[in-house]
Structures are given as C-alpha cells and as structure tokens.
Structure 1
C-alpha cells in the first residue's frame, strides 16, 4: 500500500489490526503521531446553528461540487506533510546548537555572524542558532580560539568567568580551577569573580584558585592551533591531563612531587617526544602498558 493511502486510512481509523500494528512499528510513526496530536489540540469557537441555518437558506442554491474521497485523503496527507515540515523547521531553529571536539581532535565552525571558532581537544561550546542577533551568548567548556567578524559582538561564558568581545581574535581556556584568556587582536573584557580586566593586543591573564597571573604573549595565535601544547607555570598533573586530551590516552602518575611548576611547550603530534620531555624535566620513568595507557613512576 502506498504511504499516502496508508496515512489517509490511519487518519480515518480505517486500518485493520495487522495494518495498524505494522504502521506503528514503522520508523516514521512517532513523527506522524506527534503531528496528529498537535492537530487534535486545535479548537474552534462554538457555532450558532440557528443563525447559520438562516444564512444558508437566504443564499442562492448552487449545485454542490463533489470531491472524490480519495482526493480528500490526498489533501489530508499533503496538509499533514506540510505541517510536519513546519514543525521540524521550528524545532531546528529554536533548539540550542552544540559543537564538540573529541579527545585527540580539533573542530572548526562558523557562527551565524560569520565569526570563526576553533575548538581544542576535549572541548564543547553551545549557543542558540535562532535569533542570534538578540542572543549573542556562547557557553564554553574547555578551550577555544575565536576570530570575531569585524564589528560583531558576543559573550563567552565559562564556569569560571566571562569574556565580552568586539571585533577581535582571542583564546579562552578553562581547566578545572584555572581560567586563561589571551587577546591576539583588538580588545576583550574579562570578568572573573568581582574583577573586570580589559586586555588588548598581546596581553593575557590567568586565574587559578582565585590567584591572578599575568601571561606573556609572544605569538600571533594559540600554539595549539599548530599542534603544540603550551604551558605557563602549571603542575605535572595539569600537564598530563592536557596530554591525555590531545592524544586520547590514559596516563597513570605515581609520583610524590606534583607541585613543581612547568613553563614550556610539548608537541601534540609526537607522543614519544612529549613523554621524553616530561620524564626528563621531572626525573620520572615512562612505561607504555598498551596503545592507550601510560604509567609514569618515580625513578
């Protein structure tokens, strides 16, 4: 049986038990049921039957136009499909949009105002695609680099602080209790706790456990864009967490000293070299247990 005929019989409650069971098991049944439920909620005002009858009797009698039953069913199906398309489009426009970058990967995408965003490994960003001009707000978990379209403005909210921007290039990073913001072009306004700081070209700021650090910026864009992991006064556990994200691996650390701070770079596409730098810096021993698991012990 053709789909439009099947839908028409279903709308008229003409399906046999076997036909109804097969239709309810189809992948599209839930969609059609939702649409039918929406149409069932439509109501019209009560009619004044006496007034309607009087009006009809006054009108000139004409020969009624007969519409075949199969054509009425086709019209019902067509209206049903149009309604489905409208509801689907409305849902898509009204729902939040989420972009993610899995461990070991980066993701690039464009916002509705043509601003460009690059997500670092293990990061996620959400925003409302609908009515963007009146709701320029993004929620970030992890790290992202923004190239804001000229003259455009929006806010980036993280669990630790907020960044307001206007026509600029900047990087935002949140990891546990650390919040880093670097401005590569233009200006950004950083809000952290009760502090408000304006950064301009070549300036950066970091907050960790409420303590503020000034970041020195000597590059024109984040180094992770070119597959290098950059650290500034960070402990070994934080460093290994970032290595896990970039390489999609698990690292078990067995060391007493985890407070010594490291400033420098690690490659994001050569795990052996990255591990060698870490082991040499902290005087540790690295053992590969499997393809995706590393154990680091004291020597």
Structure 2
C-alpha cells in the first residue's frame, strides 16, 4: 500500500493489523503521532489566567465573567488546533511529493514525467514538479536549461525566475541563467510571459531577454545542439559563452583586458576542452593559457 494511503487510513482508524505494522514501519510515523498528540493536548487557556482586559477588570473587581460568555472559546480553540493539524499533515503528505532533479558540472540527464513527457537537463540545472498533483496540474519549476518534449494533454507550464512558458504539447527549450531568459520553440507553439512581455512563438522561433535587452529571431538548428554535446550561440556576449564553458568543464575562466560584452556567434564541443577553447578564442582574436587548479586565462592575441 502507498505511504499516503497508509497515513490516511491511520487518521481515520481504518488500518488492518497488517497495515498497522506497515504504518509503524514508516520513518515518519513517530512524527505524525507527535502532531496528533500535541493537537489533542492543545486546549484553551482559562480566561482567569490570561484573558483580555475586560476579564482582568472583572477579576480585580471581584466579578466573574458569566460562563455563557466564554463557552465559545474552547470550541474555537479546538477548531484552531484541528486547522493547525490539517495544515501540518497537508504539508507532509503532499509537499513531500515534490520531485527534484538536478545536474552537476558537465552533467546531462533525461527524465520522464508522469504523463510520459520527457525532459533533458543541461549542466547545472534543477527542475521540480509535484508528482501527486500532476494529473490536475502539469507544472514544472526550472533553474538552468532544459529541453522539453511535451505529451499532448492539458496545459503544461514551465516556470523560471525570469519568466514562464505554457504549451499544450510541443518541443521547446528553456534557458534561464542568471539574468538571461531564452525560449526556443522547435515544434507547435508556446506562450511566453516575462515581465511585461507576452508573446506566442511558432516552430523555429526564439525569444531572448538578457540584462533587460529583448530580442527575437529564428532558430539555426531544428533541435537544441547542447543535447548533442555542442553549445551554440547567436550574437551572445562572450562572458556568457565562457560561463557556459565553465558549466560544461570543471574550469574557471578569467578574462584579462577582454570586453565581456563582445559578441560571439558559433559554438564549442563538450567533449574536448582544448578544441572548445580554440573554437571560442580564435574567431575573436583571443588566446588562452591553462594554469593550475583548472584555471584558464583569456586575453587578446599578441601580434
């Protein structure tokens, strides 16, 4: 029996002897019992010990507050304790169903969501979704970059710190790195909302916000190249390119007398650091040197 079903039957006193043993074996069983115990012990304080100013005045003058005027307090406190219990159990029964998946430096992974939609995560990316609530709401939280192949069905939402994407079933890529938010649509249509910007992208179109600047255009490829271990860029500041290099390789890049806003169009492989560095530096007239502790220094090429 599922954990949530065991807990619900325990709350309603419907556990069989075998199910009771299974409940007792749950790691969090003692915690749930403690919540119930605390709620049961919770009672309204006597107004003679801590009431309002009117009650205190009555005590000082020797008068007692009529019993009928304080009868409502204890039922209300019981309601409050029941609400407190409900909120606590809701959190531990349902919020624990939040599934998180994350990748490290140079790591990619692919997962399948409950509706058979697939997500491929790029390096240093995290997504989260509520498995228990998925049938009611297809919603994913994203930080980093991921490619989505969404199964047909109800609306599918991807939320990031800088914007959201909504679809009914399509293929698209979402990239959120620092102050950069980029969406590329590869199939169907997607709705993009970021601040005051709201638009619909068709297949082959992209939308990008970087440090407040907004741009849109056409995709160069029919599929995100990073899923093939290649990072590609279209007129992107070189600082952002090197930041992606750091995510794919365990290196720290230091720019010396290089304008971080210099634009770069091209790409680099995720499988060979030397080749990747050459792919970035040579077109821009730069050179690099590798130092100890995985440090790479980049500066203008000497003539």
- Out of 268, 271, 279, the position equivalent to 2:270 is 268
Give the structure 2 partner of residue 172 of structure 1. Answer: 174
Alignment partner of 1:125: what SS? Answer: strand
Structure 2 residues not aligned, in runs of 5+: 1-24, 42-87
Does the 8 A contact of 2:155 with 2:168 survive in 1? yes
Give the structure 1 partner of residue 164 of structure 2. Answer: 162
- Out of 202, 205, 216, the position equivalent to 2:204 is 202
Alignment partner of 1:143: what SS? Answer: strand
Give the structure 2 partner of residue 187 of structure 1. Answer: 189
| CA 1:186–1:247: 2 relative to 1, 3 Å | same
Larger Rg: 1
Cα deviation per residue 1:115-139 (whole Å; 9 max; x = unaligned)?
A: 1001110111112112112232211
Cα deviation per residue 1:133-191 (whole Å; 9 max; x = unaligned)?
A: 22322111111100001234211111111100111000000122221111111110011
| CA 1:250–1:40: 2 relative to 1, 3 Å | same
After TM superposition, the structure 1 = structure 2 runs for residues 108-257 of structure 1, keeping only pairs within 5 Å, are 108-257=110-259
Give the structure 2 partner of residue 295 of structure 1. Answer: 297
Tell me how far 1:229 sits from its aligned partner.
0.3
Tell me how far 1:297 sits from its aligned partner.
2.7
| CA 1:214–1:38: 2 relative to 1, 3 Å | closer
Does the 8 A contact of 1:117 with 1:147 survive in 2? yes
CA distance, structure 2, for counterparts of residue 269 and residue 247 of structure 1: 9
| CA 1:289–1:194: 2 relative to 1, 3 Å | same
Cα deviation per residue 1:182-211 (whole Å; 9 max; x = unaligned)?
A: 111111001122121111111111122332
Give the structure 2 partner of residue 14 of structure 1. Answer: none
| CA 1:178–1:43: 2 relative to 1, 3 Å | closer
Alignment partner of 2:165: what SS? Answer: strand
| CA 1:29–1:141: 2 relative to 1, 3 Å | closer
TM-score (norm 1): 0.70
Give the structure 1 partner of residue 95 of structure 2. Answer: 94
Higher mean alpha-carbon deviation, 128-137 vs 176-185, is at 128-137
CA distance, structure 1, for counterparts of residue 247 and residue 205 of structure 2: 26
Does the 8 A contact of 2:266 with 2:280 survive in 1? no
Does the 8 A contact of 1:231 with 1:263 survive in 2? yes
Does the 8 A contact of 2:156 with 2:169 survive in 1? no
Alignment partner of 1:133: what SS? Answer: coil
1:37 aligned onto 2:34: yes
CA distance, structure 2, for counterparts of residue 126 and residue 30 of structure 1: 23
Structure 1 residues not aligned, in runs of 5+: 1-27, 45-86
Does the 8 A contact of 1:234 with 1:263 survive in 2? yes
Cα deviation per residue 1:77-129 (whole Å; 9 max; x = unaligned)?
A: xxxxxxxxxx99x9475322111111100021111211100111011111211
Tell me how far 1:36 sits from its aligned partner.
4.4
Does the 8 A contact of 1:113 with 1:152 survive in 2? no
TM-score (norm 2): 0.69
